[in-house]
Amino acid sequence: MKKVLFGLLVLGAIMLAACGGGAEEAVTFDPVPAEFAGMTSPLGADAATSGKDVFTTNCESCHGPQGHGDGPAGAALDPQPKNLPEIAAQVGDDYLFWRIATGKPGTSMVAWKGVLTDEQIWQAVAYIRTLK
Q: Least distance in Å: CB of 114 to ligand HEC?
A: 12
Q: How far is the CB of 28 from ligand HEC (least distance, A)?
A: 10
Question: How would DSSP label each residue in 65-130?
Answer: TTSSS--TTTTT-SSPP--HHHHHTTS-HHHHHHHHHH--TTSS----BTTB-HHHHHHHHHHHTT
CB of 10 to ligand HEC, least distance (A): 30
Largest CA distance in the chain: 55
Q: Which of 105, 117, 90 is nearest to 29 (CA)?
A: 90
Measured from the CB atom, the residue of 9 and 132 that comes closer to ligand HEC is 132
Residue with Cβ nearer ligand HEC (10 or 115): 115
The CA distance from 101 to 79, in Å, is 19
The site for ligand HEC (CB under 6 A) is made up of 58-59, 61-63, 73, 77, 79, 81-82, 87, 96, 99-100, 104, 107-109, 112, 124
Nearer to ligand HEC, 7 or 90 (CB): 90
Closest distance of CB 45 from ligand HEC, Å: 19
